[in-house]
Amino acid sequence: MMSFPLILTLYVGFTHAFETDHLLAVGNIVLGRSNIKMSLKDGVAWGLGHTTTILLVGMLLLLFRINIAEHYFRYLEASVGLMLVLLGFYRLSKLLKENKIVLHSHTHQHSIRDAHTHLHIHVRELEEHRHPHKLAYGVGLVHGLAGSGALILMVMAQINEPVMGLMYLFIFGMGSVGGMLLAAGLFSLPFSKKLLHSEIVQVILITVSGILCVGYGTWVVYQNLIA
């Protein structure tokens, strides 16, 4: 049976997945997937990438006692911000390249003297994004690299045995896998053909998500490199 500290670590890892930068990144990855199963796989891939980096950095710090100055982790946090900016632009540019939004006008004439023009906006059916889960795994790797510093230093302060410390990091990582699994599934619900048929709403969701990703990523870079 798991002890309370291990259960608490699993819970902290689960809630860690719902941080703003994590949700924005995975939201932009899964938006457009009409298959919830594929979105869930994205969530698992992100969590595994996140856990991979945490364990690798943890091995360096806990097992081999390699010291990394804390201020270097600010650059890693900035790298997450840059990744969010690129991810947001990627999602927006992909939407524009697909030419899904079509504007055209129609002239209606009810009588000889009564003629007027209407502007119509149509959204073509969105294709499911078929990018591999490697994208989600890579994003998870970067997130794990940025967030591992403070986490591992905290574990080192509480636990003297390196193997036990790695076990806690692994459990934390499994909690983050579960959290992102849930988050990815929730983000993909609006694109399920069974739940939402409005292509316009889907385009709006993708656009807003991309803009938020770029804006928040820019703020993260500013906070860690300039402010």
In a domain, 112, yes or no: no
pTM: 0.80
Q: Is the residue at 111 inside a domain?
A: no
| More confident of the two residues 130 and 153 | 153
Task: Identify whether 118 is part of a domain.
Answer: no
Per the structure, the complete domain to which residue 25 belongs is given by: 4-98+129-225
Judge whether 114 lies within some domain: no
Question: pLDDT for 185-223, tens place per residue?
Answer: 888 876 665 555 667 777 888 889 999 999 999 999 999
The tokens describing 208, both together, are 């807003």
In a domain, 116, yes or no: no
Position 112 confidence tier, pLDDT thresholds 50, 70, 90:
low
- Over residues 103-121, the mean pLDDT reads 53
Long-range contacts of 14-18 (CB under 8 A, 24+ apart): 14/175, 14/176, 14/178, 14/179, 15/175, 15/179, 16/147, 16/172, 16/175, 16/176, 16/179, 17/47, 17/175, 17/176, 17/177, 17/178, 17/179, 17/180, 17/182, 17/183, 18/179, 18/183
Domain assignment of residue 107, yes or no: no
List pLDDT tens digits, range 59-111.
887 888 777 777 778 888 899 999 999 999 998 888 877 655 554 555 555 55
Domain contains 191 = yes
Q: What's the pLDDT score for residue 57?
A: 84
Residue 184 has pLDDT above 60, yes or no: yes
Of 115-119, 143-147, 177-181, 183-187, highest mean pLDDT: 177-181
Please state at what angle helix 20-30 crosses helix 199-225, rounded to 10 degrees.
140
Question: Cα separation of 122 and 124, whole Å?
Answer: 6
Task: Give the span between the Cα atoms of 211 and 99, in whole angstroms.
Answer: 18
Higher pLDDT, 49 or 119: 49
Domain assignment present for residue 168? The answer is yes
Structural domains of the chain, count: 1
